[in-house]
Amino acid sequence: MSTDENKVDDDLLGGLGEPRQGSIDSDEILIGLVQALFPRKPYCLVENWTMFKVDATEDELSKIHAGGQLPMIVFAHNVLFDSQRRFDVGDWVRSTLAISFVDGFLFETKNTVYVLKGVGHEKKASLETIFSFF
C-alpha cells in the first residue's frame, strides 16, 4: 500500500470522528415529515452514517458555494428505505454535495433528501480523499 493510500485510510477510517445524533423518530413519522418539507423530491432513509465536512481550499470553497452547494457529503453504510428504489435495503450510499442541512438530520442534495437516523459521525476530509475511497 502506498503512502497516499495509507493517508486515505487514516483520513476516513482512522477513528469514528465526532459523534452526531440523527433523528430517533419512526420511519413513518420521518417519511411524512420529509414529504411535507420537500414535496416531490426523492428521499432516502439511512443509518450508520458519516457526514464529511470537506476540507477545501479557498478556491474549492468558492466553486462549491458558486454552485449553490455546501462543503458537506454524507456516506451511509445502511440504506433503510429509498423512495425511488434506486438502492436496496442494506446498500451503502454516498451523496453528492449538500445544498441544505435542516434540523441536524435532513441532508438535502440537488437530487435527494437523505434522512439521517440514529447515531452517526462527523469527520473532515478532502474531496479527493472522499471520492477516491468510496
Range from 27-31, 104-108, 125-129 carrying the lowest mean pLDDT: 125-129
- What pLDDT sits at residue 53? 95
CA-based torsion, 36, 75, 65, 83: positive or negative: negative
- pTM recorded for the entire structure: 0.87
The pLDDT assigned to 3 comes to 43
> Mean pLDDT lowest for which of 9-18, 46-55, 58-67, 86-95?
9-18
Q: How many domains is the chain partitioned into structurally?
A: 1
Res. 12 pLDDT band, cuts 50 70 90: low
Domain extent for 39: 3-133
Is residue 132 very low, low, confident or very high in pLDDT (cuts 50, 70, 90)?
confident
Question: How many degrees, rounded to 5, is the angle at CA 88 between CA 82 and CA 5?
Answer: 105
Beta strand segments in the chain, E: 18-21, 43-54, 72-82, 93-94, 100-102, 106-108, 113-116, 119-125
